[in-house]
Amino acid sequence: MIPPRERIGFIGLGNMGRPMASSLLRNGFAVTAFDTAVVQVDLLVERGGIRAGDIASLIAASDVVITMLPNTPDVAGVVSGLAESGRAGMLMIDMSTIDPATSRALGALLSGKGIRFVDAAVGRSPAHAERGESLFMVGAEEDDLARVRPILNAMGNKIIHCGPQGSGIAMKIVNNFLAMATCQISAEALTLGAKLGLPTALMYEVITNSLASNDHLKTYWPTKALKGDVAPGFAIDLAYKDLSIGVNAAAAAGVPVFTGAAARECLGQARSAQGLGSKDITAVLLAAAANAGIKPPRL
């Protein structure tokens, strides 16, 4: 089999990035990687990846640069490096969750340098990423989509073209807005039931077999807070950041989001007053239970 042509530079090897970069390696792509956490790069090198000493050397060794980073300034730093030392004809795929307006502005900056920019926001969990089953919400022109499709297919099994550049991250913000707010409501509902004396297993059975069900509660919560594990798959700090982007985007668009804004305040309280920012998003259950003066419900 002829190996894929594109040389990939992957920046950001966290809970989602490392398994996705590993999937690229399994599918024959040459992957040069960089992360400030050296141990994450070590793990990818063990799987056949190439270590980059810095972002500049990664850019020099790559045709396509992929970023999976925590926040806007991190992505902007990579874009600045690409604008300075990248080559015309290169392409950047940003999988980070950042403000859609900023994403479009970064794309315009690189376009002026002859470098294409695609936002390919990621859905689903780290477990899906490990299996190469991520979902991608893509903002791209048709020719750029055709170029990145083999790369995305190596990491996932569902690609949804949301429109021009900036549309993929806009869809991710909407999706995460609903998911994070739903997590808060789930935590409050389970806490209310526990306070009323209902067994957790009973509540779980009824909720997940009724119209009140949601996939987050049904498939993810039993692996995390409902079994007492709040090690981060997706941390409350990141959830707060994503929900804040959504609330701010809504304000800019003139869209009232009363429930989403309230959910963001709850996540903020869990972060600051209860010190749960580094814990998994399902740890909002611990916060809700503490506010109610009870032990967190568990299956």
For residues 115-137, average pLDDT: 93
Catalytic residue numbers read 172
124 pLDDT band, cuts 50/70/90, is: confident
> Tell me: the pLDDT tens digits for 32-85?
999 999 999 999 999 999 999 999 999 999 999 999 999 899 999 999 999 999
Looking at 76-85, 123-132, 167-176, 222-231, which range is the least confident one? 123-132
Give the pLDDT score at 1. Answer: 47
Domains and CATH numbers, the chain: 7-165 (3.40.50.720), 171-292 (1.10.1040.10)
What is the full DSSP assignment across the chain?
-PPPSPEEEEE--STTHHHHHHHHHHTT-EEEEE-SSHHHHHHHHHTT-EE-SSHHHHHHT-SEEEE--SSHHHHHHHHHHHHHH--TT-EEEE-S---HHHHHHHHHHHHTTT-EEEEEEEES-HHHHHTT-EEEEEE--HHHHHHHHHHHHTTEEEEEEEESTTHHHHHHHHHHHHHHHHHHHHHHHHHHHHHTT--HHHHHHHHHTSTT--HIIIIIGGGTGGGT--S-SSBHHHHHHHHHHHHHHHHHHT---HHHHHHHHHHHHHHHTT--TTSBGGGHHHHHHHHHTSPPP--
Give the pLDDT score at 126. Answer: 86
Give the pLDDT score at 3. Answer: 54
